[in-house]
Structures are given as C-alpha cells and as structure tokens.
C-alpha cells in the first residue's frame, strides 16, 4: 500500500516540475523579446497565459485507517495461556513425623554418680567446641585456625585449616557427616567436603551486616545460625535451607528482643521436640522458643544459684528432650526438662571450666574443657544397649 501511494505522489511531483520548467522558459523568452528591436519576432510571439492559468488537478489521498475489532479474551487465553494470580503464604518448616529409631533404649533415669569413660588431650591452649561425627570420632575447635578430629582413643585423625585463616567460632556435624563451621570475621558459614573448605553462606562484609556465631543442624536438615549485628546491638537466630534464608527469630510477640545484645557467646541447639534453645551468656539465661519462633521459657538458674552466677555457654539436648548447658563460673552442668524445670547438676566429675557440649547416639555427654584442652566423655544415664 505504501509503495502505491509513493508512485502516485512521485508522478504528481514530476508533472508539477515539468510545468514550472515550461513557465520559466516562457518568461525567459519574453525577456529576450523586450530587449530585442526585431518587430517580426515580437509580432510572431504567441502568449500562453491562458494555458498556465489552469493549475494541475489536486491530488487527494485516502490514507489507510485502522478499524478495530472486538477482542475475545477467552480466545486469547486459549491461544496464549494465562498467568495465575499471586498468592502469599507463610511456609511453616516441615519436619519428619517420626524420628529415626535408635539402636538402643535409653532410660529416663539419671545416674547418681556420672562416670567419665574417656579423656582426650587435644593439646589446644584453650578448647571451646566439640561435635560428634559418630560415637568414636569427635571434631574439636580451640584457640587455633585448625579444626581437628580425634578418635575416642585420643588419636588425631584429621586436621582442617580454615579457609580465611581466621579462628572458627562454632562447629557442627550435619546428618550427612560433613563438618560446618562459622567464621564471624569473614561473615561466612563454611562446609568441609572431601577435606576441602567451601563457603556455604556468605553475608555481606560491611557495616550493617550480620556476623554468624553459633550453628546447629536441625532434624529437618536445615541450619540454625545465631547472629550478631555488625554494631553488636542486635541478635537473632536465622534458619537456612541450604544457603537460602527461611526464617528469622529475633523478637517476641510484644516486639521486644528475645536475646541479649553484645558480642558474647550464643551457642544453640534444636531439641528433639523441635524447640530452639539458645545459651545466652549475656543474659545469664537459656532462652527457648518453638520451631515457629514463639517464646516458650527463659531459664536463669535454680534457687541455690547466687545472683549472676549462672553463665550458660555450651548447650545440647539428649534423646529424652532434656536440655544440658554448662555453667562456666560454677564449673558444672545444669540439666533441665523440656519445659525448663531444673532437674539436677553434674558437678561431681572434677570438670575444669566446661565449655562446649554435644551428645552421641547413646546419650553419652561429650564435654570440652576450656582450661585444660581436654575432651571428656561422661555417662550420666542408665541407658542399656539393645
């Protein structure tokens, strides 16, 4: 259509230009006659004024017009498909309906006299954390840039240098058997695969970011990480599924902080009833919330504790949902039930500055002694192997 219009306009333009050329020639001829003295040329001149009075016909173009038709939306949906509406829902963490069966039975009864059944000298100047890889192998973290694994006989099996050459803050063993550690200076959570360290979670390394502190592995396979803000004014617990953030626990229903501020130890664990338990050293309390982050209780020591003497650091739970936490000042271990009620102390095993705790599959308690650099294995229940 455009090509046809262009041809018509071009033809009209050519005719107008031809007529202008003829008129110009006639005007020039008349000027020559005015300057001539030849009477015969003047008398023989034919004037064409009447020919030029008539203008060329006027070109009128009928431009194309858009004629819209009614749009059938149903037909378009059939041709192109449609986008479903956006729905926002709160995803509640899912957990196995039933925990894996243990290969032994464990009694609720606690021994009157807990017994030390093994002692490992790690030679750390200061020993902080322990994590059971299995019942015979234990990862340890001290005042060093190397994480070391020992067997129950005290033999060094493996050493892992941190990726950033910083001291790790906390360690945990995943259900897959892989080691994970936190690095607050590097603002990262790292995993060890085939003796190689890889970053699992990276937080931005500038003012306003968060530093990871304690870490634990949930039954669901998620990671729970306690964090402190860069200015040390806020603390929170974050749930990660892989490297993806799934949940943040920071405030109670009144909008008040659940945990103390400041760069102090905040180790954590998940109980077998899925409660999240944090040993908040700065608050002199164990703070327990449900898996959805709802506050359950705060344990601040039993009645015989003098003011300020309860300073929880390490924390773990056993198969009966009992909560065990170290009291560094009193050099003992508090045992609570799942509701926060004090049960008893472990204070007769000559523990020296107990710090980190973990439980093996037979409910044996593994204790890291900060001052001696030793790992002690305690039997404190009357569990009977099947």
When pLDDT is cut at 50, 70 and 90, the band that residue 3 belongs to is low
Q: What is the mean pLDDT of residues 78-103?
A: 56
Q: Give the mean pLDDT of the chain.
A: 85
pLDDT of amino acid 386: 35
**Among 239, 240, 279, which Cα is nearest to 259's?**
279
When pLDDT is cut at 50, 70 and 90, the band that residue 52 belongs to is low
When pLDDT is cut at 50, 70 and 90, the band that residue 80 belongs to is confident
Give per-residue burial for 217-231: e unless 16+ CB within 10 Å, then b: bbebebbbbbbbbbe
Give per-residue burial for 346-375: e unless 16+ CB within 10 Å, then b: beebebebbbbbbbbebbbbbbbbbebbbb
pTM of the predicted model, to two decimals? 0.71
pLDDT at 33 > cutoff 90? no
pLDDT at 96 > cutoff 60? no
Count how many residues are written for the chain.
Answer: 386
Tens digits of residue pLDDT in 335-384: 999 999 999 999 888 899 999 999 999 999 999 999 999 999 999 998 65
Long-range contacts at 325-332 (CB < 8 A, ≥ 24 apart): 325/279, 325/286, 325/357, 326/279, 326/354, 326/355, 326/356, 326/357, 326/367, 327/301, 328/353, 328/354, 328/355, 328/370, 330/305
**Among 289, 293, 334, which Cα is nearest to 311's?**
334
CA distances from residue 270 to 6, 99, 275, 285, 341 in whole angstroms, order as listed: 81, 13, 6, 16, 17
Q: What is the mean pLDDT of residues 162-168?
A: 93
Helix and strand counts by DSSP (H, E) for the chain: 4, 26
Domain residue spans in the chain? 2-61, 104-385
Cβ-based neighbours of 270, under 8 Å, separated by 6 or more: 216, 217, 218, 219, 224, 276, 277, 317
Cα 18–Cα 22–Cα 28 angle in degrees, nearest 5: 145
Tens digits of residue pLDDT in 307-327: 458 999 999 999 999 999 999
Q: Are 5 and 61 in contact (CB under 8 A)?
A: yes
Which architecture does CATH list for 104-385? Answer: 6 Propeller (2.120)
């Amino acid at each position: 259509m455009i090509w046809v219009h262009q041809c018509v306009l071009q033809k009209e333009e050519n005719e107008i230009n031809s007529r202008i050329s003829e008129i110009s020639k006639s005007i020039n001829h008349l000027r020559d006659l005015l300057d001539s003295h030849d009477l015969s040329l003047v008398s023989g001149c034919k004037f064409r004024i009447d020919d030029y009075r008539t203008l060329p016909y006027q070109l009128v173009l009928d431009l194309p017009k858009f004629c819209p038709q009614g749009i059938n939306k149903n037909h378009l949906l059939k041709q192109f498909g449609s986008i479903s509406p956006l729905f926002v829902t709160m995803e509640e963490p899912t957990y196995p309906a039933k925990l894996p069966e243990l290969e032994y039975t464990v009694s609720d009864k606690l021994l009157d006299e807990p017994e030390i059944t093994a002692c490992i000298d790690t030679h750390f100047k200061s020993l902080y954390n322990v994590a059971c890889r299995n019942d015979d192998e234990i990862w340890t973290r001290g005042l060093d840039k190397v994480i070391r694994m020992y067997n129950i006989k005290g033999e060094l099996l493996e050493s892992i240098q941190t990726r950033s050459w910083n001291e790790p803050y906390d360690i945990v063993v995943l259900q897959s058997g892989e080691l994970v550690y936190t690095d607050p200076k590097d603002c990262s959570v790292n995993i060890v695969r085939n003796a190689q360290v890889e970053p699992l979670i990276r937080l931005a390394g500038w003012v306003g970011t968060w530093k990871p502190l304690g870490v634990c592995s949930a039954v669901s396979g998620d990671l729970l990480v306690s964090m402190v803000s860069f200015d040390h004014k806020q603390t929170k617990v974050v749930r990660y599924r892989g490297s993806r953030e799934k949940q943040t626990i920071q405030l109670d229903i009144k909008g008040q902080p659940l945990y103390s501020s400041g760069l102090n130890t905040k180790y954590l664990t998940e109980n077998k009833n899925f409660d999240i338990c944090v040993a908040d050293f700065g608050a002199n309390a164990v703070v327990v919330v449900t898996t959805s982050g709802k506050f359950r209780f705060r344990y601040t020591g039993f009645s015989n504790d003098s003011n300020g003497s309860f300073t929880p650091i390490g924390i773990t739970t056993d198969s009966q949902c009992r909560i065990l936490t170290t009291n560094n000042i009193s050099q003992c271990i508090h045992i609570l039930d799942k509701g926060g009620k004090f049960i008893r102390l472990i204070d007769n095993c000559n523990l020296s500055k107990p710090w980190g705790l973990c439980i093996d599959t037979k409910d044996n308690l593994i204790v890291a002694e900060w001052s001696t650099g030793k790992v002690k294995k305690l039997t404190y229940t009357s569990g009977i192997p099947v």
